Amino acid sequence: MKILSTSQTQAADRYTIEHEPISSLDLMERAAQALLSWFNQNIDPSSPIVFLSGKGNNGGDGLALARLLKTHGYSDLMVFLIDRNGSPDFEANLNHLQSDIYQEALDEQLKPGFFSEDTVWVDALFGSGLNRVLEGRYVDWIQALNKLSGLKVSIDLPSGLMGDAIAQADLSRVFKADYTLTFQYPKLALVHPYTAALAGQLEVLDIGLHADYLQSAESSFHWSTVADIKSIIKPRKKHSYKGDYGHAYLLAGSPNTMGAALIAAEACARSGTGLISLNTARETFTACNSRLPELMLQERGSQAPSLDSYQAVLCGPGLGQDDGVNSLLGDILQNWQGPLVLDADALNLIAKNPSYLQWAKENWILTPHPGEFNRLLGLDQLGPDQLDIGIEYCRKHRLNLLLKGSISVLIEANGNCTFYDYGSSALAKGGSGDLLAGLLCGLLVQDYSIKQAVNLGMALQGKAAQLAEKELGSAHAVLSSDILQQIGKAYASF
């Protein structure tokens, strides 16, 4: 799914209005119906719901939703207005709304204790058309709302965010949503690593914008969907054997951090890989055979063996950073020509030895978490320009990078970006990165492309985490080992 700019968003609306044809007011009603459907599925009709509506079309969306909720059994509604005079579609929806549920915004009411703690707050102040940092009373309202209890829902964008202008955002002046209900496709600010947390859970609602415009619009940013996953999974053939599904090579593990290597190796195996060879320290062989007897073990030496018989290589999980390991990694980076996943200590060694990047290739994928990303790129901390810096890095070195987070982003060697929201708080545990790296290597062995492997690997890990959370009853209790047990069911879910 494409991520369009603010100007493209506005153009998509205009194109739909002109070519369906449909009036702008009717298109707003279509958006309100989509919002209503979400509320019917997720919000108890007895909940008190309070809207804060601006005077533009985002406010009009809020007014149209309030009217529909009123007619569908939601009785405890209140709408605060910035102004009674606004855009034509705003005013049309205000005229259709019962006057007993709206009033002018009153600052003294937006304080703790005035509203019940189970209030659902609907932010309809500003949408994707905002092009400046908020000031004055808007900031006061948003900061007051952020302190109040209750579920917070934003329409289109959390007020204070701008669709594309990430660097201009003042995060202290943005409504902090639990859910953001956006239309047709995500906006960059909703998925960007710097601002995504302010959007909470992102829900993309189909409002039937004209397909011709969406197909023709150009974008280097994309959003991964379940439909993408279903279309790329390769079926297993009845008449096949282990050699048909490739041979993976893992340079991973050390006596003190063998768990990381074993998690990666098991994930690689459960991805569907036919054979796995693990290069590790001899003193760990007993642990390896006990945990994963399917592995073929190679004793770690001073030189990397020939890799001619392998289809993909993973370096890093639990590897350590001593001189011997550093030399082995250097040999592989210089001589291996096939798909390569670099994670954990492999990334830390590259950060210490940036000259290794002279051998980078378009079939490399680096998988850093934010701390490793900082070290690789020489940053002190992640800021609003982190995505731009990552894109420049990938273009310069002609490699791919998956920046992991609550929303992860694949930056390809050509600068294209794909964003993923398959995450779960169950993944906020040691071993999650090793698991993902193993999945990616296993999929690359099976001849998936880099992008296909990341799309499928991210989805499998996220779905398996959700399944593990459901089985154990809480994300608190989920371990990476539990997630591994759910990979098969995750495959079956797509």
Bond prior to 21 in cis (omega within 30° of 0): yes
Q: In this structure, what DSSP letter does residue 243 have?
A: G
pLDDT bin (cut points 50, 70, 90) of residue 106 is: low
State the burial class of residue 21 (Cβ atoms within 10 Å of its Cβ: 0-12, 13-18, 19+). exposed
Residues 201 and 250 grouped into a single domain: no
Non-local (6+) Cβ contacts of 316 within 8 A are 251, 252, 341, 342, 343, 344, 345, 346, 347, 437
Q: How many CB atoms lie within 10 A of CB 133?
A: 15
Residues of the chain by 3-state class (helix, strand, coil), percent to 5: 45, 15, 40
Which CATH number goes with the domain that contains 373?
Answer: 3.40.1190.20
Domain final residue, candidates 167, 190, 221: 221
Burial 276-301 (b: 16+ CB within 10 A, else e): bbbbbbeebbebbeebbeebebbebe
Residues 205 and 298 grouped into a single domain: no
State the burial class of residue 28 (Cβ atoms within 10 Å of its Cβ: 0-12, 13-18, 19+). buried
Residues 118 and 215 grouped into a single domain: yes
269-279 per-position pLDDT tens digit? 999 999 999 99
Residues 213 and 240 grouped into a single domain: no
380-416 per-position pLDDT tens digit? 888 999 999 999 999 999 999 999 999 999 999 999 9
H or E stretch at 7: helix 6-19
Is 375 part of any domain? yes
Residues 202 and 328 grouped into a single domain: no
Mean pLDDT across the chain: 95
Q: In this structure, what DSSP letter does residue 157 have?
A: S
Domain final residue, candidates 176, 202, 221: 221
Residues 279 and 215 grouped into a single domain: no
Q: Is 393 left (phi over 0), alpha (psi -120 to 50) or beta?
A: alpha
pLDDT bin (cut points 50, 70, 90) of residue 21 is: very high
Residue 108: the pLDDT is: 66
- Is residue 314 a contact partner of residue 365, using CB atoms and an 8 Å limit? no
Residues 208 and 271 grouped into a single domain: no
Q: How far is CA 153 from the centre of its chain?
A: 19
Token pair, residue 233, equals 């999974």
Is 460 part of any domain? yes
Residue 301: the pLDDT is: 86
306-354 per-position pLDDT tens digit? 899 999 999 999 999 999 999 999 999 999 999 999 999 999 999 999 9
Rounded to an integer, what distance in angstroms lies between the CA atom of residue 63 and that of residue 56?
11
Task: Give whole-number Cα distances, 459 to 227, 245, 462, 466, in Å.
Answer: 11, 20, 5, 11
Q: In this structure, what DSSP letter does residue 119 have?
A: P
Residue 303: the pLDDT is: 79
Is 297 part of any domain? yes
Over residues 221-235, mean pLDDT: 93
Domain final residue, candidates 221, 242, 260: 221
Burial 248-257 (b: 16+ CB within 10 A, else e): bbbbbbbeeb
Is 1 part of any domain? no
> Residue 103 — φ and ψ, nearest 5°?
-160, 170
3-state SS, residue 79: strand
Residues 215 and 268 grouped into a single domain: no
- Is residue 100 a contact partner of residue 72, using CB atoms and an 8 Å limit? no
Kindly calculate the radius of gyration of the chain based on its CA atoms and give it in whole angstroms. 25
Is 289 part of any domain? yes
Residues 309 and 419 grouped into a single domain: yes
111-159 per-position pLDDT tens digit? 777 889 999 999 999 988 898 999 988 898 899 899 999 999 999 999 9
> Residue 318 — φ and ψ, nearest 5°?
65, 20
The whole-model pTM stands at: 0.95
3-state SS, residue 148: coil
Is 257 part of any domain? yes
Which CATH number goes with the domain that contains 160?
Answer: 3.40.50.10260
Residue 184's domain comprises 6-221
Q: How many CB atoms lie within 10 A of CB 480?
A: 26
Q: How many CB atoms lie within 10 A of CB 203?
A: 16
Q: How far apart are the first and last CA of the chain?
A: 17
Residues 138 and 280 grouped into a single domain: no
The beta-strand segments (E) located in 156-290 are 179-183, 201-205, 221-223, 247-251, 275-280
Residues 343 and 201 grouped into a single domain: no
161-195 per-position pLDDT tens digit? 999 999 999 999 999 999 999 999 999 999 999 99
Q: At what angle do helices 370-377 and 386-397 cross, to 10 degrees?
A: 60
Count the alpha carbons within 13 Å of 30 in the hemisphere toward its beta carbon. Answer: 17
Residues 192 and 315 grouped into a single domain: no
Range list of H helices, 336-449:
345-352, 370-377, 386-397, 432-445
Residue 435: the pLDDT is: 98
The number of folded domains in the chain is 2
